[in-house]
Amino acid sequence: MNPAETKSTAFTTIDLDKPGKHVGFVMIPHSPDDDAWGVTRLPIAVIANGTGPTVILEGGNHGDEYEGPITITELIRDLDPGEVSGRLILMPANNVHAVVAGKRTSPVDGLNLNRTFPGNPIGTITQQIAAFMAQEIFPRGDAFLDLHSGGSSLDILPSAVIEPSEDPELLKKNIAAARAFGADYTVVIPNLGDPRTATACACLAGLISIGTEMSGGGSVSREALALCRTGVRNVLVHLGVLPETFATPITGKDRVLDLPGAGSYVYATMDGIFESFDPLGAEVKKGDPCGRIHCTWDATRAPETLYYGADGVLYGRRQPGRVRPGNCVLTVATPYQGPSL
């Protein structure tokens, strides 16, 4: 059986194409050890009125990232259909088992939803969630907002994220939508070319696609949550789904940055405890020391110093001090050098 030719078995408790406000669930048949004919339930809401674009909002792609899901559930409760021109499809907890557990990956199958797209409708539950998005949700959409934070392992400068595209016109639209968010930093994140993310899949389907990184550290940042609330509304105004009265004036740095390649990332080289030398937002230089790893259980071993691999802004920093070889401990964002803004 070819997964690409197999249709998702998921069904919904609401009509995704009906005007008005409807709140319910995506039901994916799931037969674990304790439930013969059960389902995994993904919360979903549709707010639709008149003509206009369809915008999809995803939260909870990783279960330890909180500002986006809070913002989406507030929109579900607060928006009236009469305020909408077009349609919003709102999904605040897509990796629902991970969301309930507060984990990055699903405790059911161990998979990272954001590395499974376009999914597999006959695969594990995480792969089936991705397949439902790719088969049933993205084809309905004109734009996609994927709201992330640094999660439990990273603290990241609050920012809007541009999804790269080989289509120059779509890339311009992605850049414009991300800058409309109103963050001090807007960052191109190609994920080292990995095509299995939700935004990459949506972009390949032709949707205007952007993301966010809203702080992190496994907590809810008051400042990042405030930015997420205003930024999402700004993007929806930019896309024409909400009226201008919902917009917040953009102030601040409006810097556009990039994570272009391997030099943007610093990885742990040994087992130990990582000490960072610089605060987030610091201007850093390639070749300068960025931190060191201490092995406190072996006093005969000197700390090992790590070095920056690029010039730029210190954009992300590992939150837990404990590291092992291969952990990403720092990321450096460089000035964007792509097509004209």
Taking only the tens place, the pLDDT of each residue in 197-223 is: 999 999 999 999 999 999 998 899 999
- Output the pLDDT for position 252: 78
- SS3 state at 74: helix
Distance CA 127, CA 225 (A): 29
Q: What is the mean pLDDT of residues 242-255?
A: 91
Give the tens place of pLDDT for each residue, 273-332. 999 999 999 999 999 999 999 999 999 999 999 999 999 999 999 999 999 999 999 999
pLDDT over threshold 90, residue 32: no
Supply 323's token pair: 């590291």
What pLDDT score was predicted for residue 27? Answer: 97
Q: Which residue ranges form the domains of the chain, and what is each CATH number?
A: 3-258 (3.40.630.10), 262-335 (2.40.50.100)
Task: Report the share of the chain in percent with pLDDT over 70.
Answer: 98
Q: Determine the pLDDT at residue 134.
A: 97
User: Among the residues of 79-208, which ranges form H helices?
Assistant: 96-101, 125-132, 168-180, 198-204
Can you read off the two tokens belonging to residue 130?
């991705």
Which pairing describes strands 86-91 and 54-58: parallel, antiparallel, or unpaired? parallel
pLDDT of residue 143: 98
pLDDT tens per residue across span 164-176: 999 999 999 999 9
The pLDDT value given to residue 341:
65
Rounded distance between C-alpha atoms, residue 144 and residue 202, angstroms: 7
pLDDT at 337: 87
CB atoms within 10 A of CB 336: 17
Name the residue type at position 301: R
Structure tokens at 147: 């709201």
